[in-house]
Structure 1
């Protein structure tokens, strides 16, 4: 039986996490529209994008939005014209919620750049709730034999890290620098190491440096330190614009820096000779395509990563975001509905 109401967290007043911008509420369970399904949430991982939305770095697109876009759940009901997924199917809802399918970006396979794209937990209510609605064509079927807590971080942290790895053009057996080492970075490092890369991790968190070492990083250091050798590629996961020139300066000739976050503080002036000359490249990463998501999830099923998670009860969503803001989360924070 589907209840009439559910518990949820909404962004009531975007602002610093210390000002308690999240509010726990009772709201109606949504009705799935045409082509949509209603998903009952098993768990929802906590992403730094949720923090940016909550604190107002990412301007809200609608009032009192329910955040959350790394959702593992089950199809509870189908709306009109939804025929692909049957009730009871285990699915994952990710950041990309819909695209137009008609624009030149969609037609060329770059749906992540679609001007009409919408996003879970930003344009529509997300997974910090008991239920959410999602277009069925944007859901990923998930395996039954993996704990939901270990699957949820794959749906954004894993997928966007995978796209960032593609965007940084790391050569086979190359030297990769990773700046920041949270949920996405700790999954991306494992993919790169499995593919034969030498990975150097630069992060301010001592706990994160310990995790990076345990996962096979060749070296670890502070975010402002230089790696022990020039890098063929680098990925910036930390939302700190001041690290862009730092990372560019570590690149060897022809190296590429990919910036993986949806939000970045201002970048200081770059020196052409030091930071960009000799064909160094600076790239952004914008969301992901469904093909990226499918490719990464297939890779993760064939070669399961070690997913480090910190579970939080559903009634502690605000604490989870505060811990994320304070670099107190090792790996990925995950909300566990039904757990007190």
Structure 2
């Protein structure tokens, strides 16, 4: 089967038209006709080989919405023509301890959609049937792609940390990930504080669900929230004043990092003295993704998106890289 796609042949180059042979379908796989595909900042990192794991030629795209076009002989829960979503992960072994414990997203033997394989900036994509998730009927499929990476990335910490409606939660960075975190937490019923270096985002952050807004450039404003938060979700990929944020954690609180920061530098004693902790997570397992989709359907949650045709992929990538996206970009397949 010939797939039409957009490819980078070297780091940092513009994408260009490309075709490749998909090969035989494995019994546990499905082929998907791509309708829409989101652009994630991870696609930019992979394009530039920032994480030193990109193999060229490289087809990005891992926030995929489409219809199943072919079903492997072992796949019984999906059928041809069914609309599904696919995110960062494309395969897990299902026999290791992580998979057997429900943490398929942590499978050390798994595969990712755009790591050493081609992704969704194409007219077709393939994945293990387990990682193609049926869309609820009343979920807006045109904007749903970002849920499968950005959405689950910020939904998973809410589940992992057993957050309830009485908790005080902060979100650092109000962008592609952060705006989804606000939407989820508002529906969850939490008291929410948005942290941003851009004071112009205050009105929109509150419309998205924030009860409070803090200009993180203001030391005075930061100190007003000392010992305040049960959970801080860090969505930014920029370096921040880690100690200032750690001081806003309540005793026993946790800082959960989902933004792709290079490193962090923090004082250890505030963790010890107040029994605070720090952690992170990579997207989420199949059960949590299904729970997120049900939650979005129930509360009518959808990402705020801008749409470009796939043929304008280079313009869309430039729009994202310049920080102009509000808040996620989706590409409509026009191949």
- The answer to whether the Cα contact below 8 Å between 2:87 and 2:149 also exists between their aligned partners in 1 is yes
Q: Which residue of 1 aligns with 2:176?
A: 183
315-324 or 110-119: which moved more?
315-324
> How does the TM-score come out when normalised to structure 1?
0.88
Find the residue that maps to 2:127 and give its secondary structure: strand
1:260 maps to 2:253: no
1:120 maps to 2:113: yes
Tell me by how many angstroms 1:243 deviates.
Answer: 4.3
Q: Which residue of 1 aligns with 2:293?
A: 297
- The answer to whether the Cα contact below 8 Å between 1:168 and 1:234 also exists between their aligned partners in 2 is no
Aligned counterparts, 1:115-264, within 5 A: 115-205=108-198, 208-225=201-218, 226=222, 228-229=224-225, 230-261=228-259, 263-264=260-261
Tell me by how many angstroms 1:207 deviates.
Answer: 5.9
- The answer to whether the Cα contact below 8 Å between 2:136 and 2:293 also exists between their aligned partners in 1 is no
> Match for 1:319 among 276, 298, 315?
315
Q: Which residue of 1 aligns with 2:22?
A: 30
Q: Deviations over 1:50-92 (max 9, x none)?
A: 1221122222343222111111100112345444322111111
Structure 2 unaligned spans of 5+: none
Structure 1 unaligned spans of 5+: 16-20
Q: Which residue of 2 aligns with 1:48?
A: 41
1:96, 1:28 → 2: CA distance?
Answer: 21
Tell me by how many angstroms 1:206 deviates.
Answer: 5.3
> Match for 1:58 among 31, 51, 58?
51
Tell me by how many angstroms 1:334 deviates.
Answer: 0.7
Tell me by how many angstroms 1:114 deviates.
Answer: 1.5
- The answer to whether the Cα contact below 8 Å between 1:67 and 1:122 also exists between their aligned partners in 2 is no
Q: Deviations over 1:219-249 (max 9, x none)?
A: 2233444274322210000012434333212
Q: Deviations over 1:276-301 (max 9, x none)?
A: 53111111112311111011011111
- The answer to whether the Cα contact below 8 Å between 1:30 and 1:131 also exists between their aligned partners in 2 is no
168-177 or 196-205: which moved more?
168-177
User: Could you say what the CA RMSD is over the residues aligned between the two structures, in angstroms?
Assistant: 2.3
- The answer to whether the Cα contact below 8 Å between 1:249 and 1:275 also exists between their aligned partners in 2 is no
> How does the TM-score come out when normalised to structure 2?
0.90
1:336, 1:206 → 2: CA distance?
Answer: 33
Tell me by how many angstroms 1:29 deviates.
Answer: 5.5
- The answer to whether the Cα contact below 8 Å between 2:47 and 2:58 also exists between their aligned partners in 1 is no
Equivalent residues, number:
329
- The answer to whether the Cα contact below 8 Å between 2:140 and 2:302 also exists between their aligned partners in 1 is no
- The answer to whether the Cα contact below 8 Å between 2:311 and 2:334 also exists between their aligned partners in 1 is no
- The answer to whether the Cα contact below 8 Å between 1:41 and 1:72 also exists between their aligned partners in 2 is yes
